[in-house]
């Protein structure tokens, strides 16, 4: 099956409607990920069809739950979930933050080849990243714990901004161990087509 057909089949199992251009950009991103993966070891997923499930769909299922226009994807790695979200939200702006130079080089290539004017790859450690106005949303699917995410990213959201943590299983002890000054707004169970694993979005606010 070609990747466009596979992606169309996956999207049909959701409420997500995309243009042909958006589908092509997502597939082209998978192509770049697959090509650069051989030298840069960007992801442990080697099969492009599996990338559509585990990387593309896994990222864009959170789209309807995001509020605002200005986002930062912290510990973005090869651009997940920031690149797929930037493709499906062309009117939003995404800073893609990672401390590894090879990942940022890859993301600049993605930006160039896909013509993505709404992403901004930045090489920096999150705790050292200076913020002027703050972000509507601070997104991460890479942090080990909510505590780490909030501790290192506390300076990033704007006054009304939110933290969006993409998680697998959400454990009670992790929720109980939040730093002072933060609260859980909601925990949303996500359904990713053809993925038989738990996925959750944890939305958090500064008190």
With a pLDDT cut of 70, the percent of the chain lying above it is 100
**Two tokens at 152?**
């290192």
The answer to whether residue 50 scores a pLDDT higher than 80 is yes
Q: Which residues contact 133 (CB under 8 A, 6 or more apart)?
A: 70, 158
Please report, in range form, the residues annotated as the binding site: 75, 80, 126-127, 141
Asked, as a colleague might, if the bond just before 81 is cis with ω within 30 of 0, I would say yes
Residue 144, pLDDT score = 77
pLDDT average, residue stretch 24-39: 95
Computed over every residue of the chain, the mean pLDDT equals: 95
pLDDT digits (tens, 9 = 90+) for 71-117: 999 999 999 999 999 999 999 999 999 999 999 999 999 999 999 99
Pairing of β 119-123 and β 157-167: unpaired
Number of domains in the chain: 1
**Helix 3-11 vs helix 20-40: angle between axes, to the nearest 10 degrees?**
120
Query: Is residue 143 very low, low, confident or very high in pLDDT (cuts 50, 70, 90)?
Result: confident
Q: Model pTM?
A: 0.97
Per-residue model confidence (pLDDT) at position 142 = 76
Q: Which domain holds residue 187?
A: 3-206
HEC readout, the chain: CCHHHHHHHHHCCCCCCCCHHHHHHHHHHHHHHHHHHHHHCCCCCCCHHHHHHHHHHHHHCCHHHCCCCEEEEECCCCCCCHHHHHHHCCCCEEEEEECCHHHHHHHHHHHHHHCCCCEEEEECCHHHCCCCCCEEEEEECCCCCHHHHHHHHCCCEEEEEEEEEEECCCCHHHHHCCCCCEEEEEEEEECCCCCCCCEEEEEEEEC
User: pLDDT tens digits for 147-186?
Assistant: 999 999 999 999 999 999 999 999 999 999 899 999 999 9
Q: Report the CATH number at residue 83.
A: 3.40.50.150
Distance from chain centroid for Cα 62: 9
State yes or no: pLDDT of 1 exceeds 70. no
What does the pLDDT read at residue 38? Answer: 87
Binding-site members for S-adenosyl-L-methionine are: 75, 80, 126-127, 141
Residue 56 pLDDT more than 70?
A: yes
């Amino acid at each position: 099956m070609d990747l466009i057909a596979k992606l169309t089949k996956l999207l049909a199992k959701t409420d997500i409607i995309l243009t042909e251009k958006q589908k092509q950009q997502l597939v082209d991103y998978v192509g770049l990920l697959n090509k650069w993966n051989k030298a840069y070891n960007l992801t442990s997923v080697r099969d492009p069809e599996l990338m559509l499930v585990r990387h593309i769909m896994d990222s864009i299922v959170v789209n309807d739950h995001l509020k605002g226009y200005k986002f930062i994807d912290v510990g973005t790695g090869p651009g997940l979930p920031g690149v797929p979200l930037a493709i499906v939200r062309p009117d939003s702006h995404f800073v893609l933050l990672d401390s590894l130079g090879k990942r940022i080089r890859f993301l600049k290539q993605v930006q160039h080849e896909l013509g993505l004017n709404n992403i901004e790859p930045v090489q920096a450690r999150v705790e050292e990243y200076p913020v002027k106005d703050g972000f509507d949303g601070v997104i991460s699917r890479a942090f080990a714990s909510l505590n780490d995410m909030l501790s290192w990213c506390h300076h990033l959201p704007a006054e009304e901004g939110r933290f969006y943590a993409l998680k697998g299983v959400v454990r009670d002890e992790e929720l109980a161990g939040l730093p002072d000054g933060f609260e859980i707004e909601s925990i949303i169970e996500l359904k990713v087509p053809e993925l038989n694993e738990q996925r959750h979005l944890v939305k958090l606010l500064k008190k």
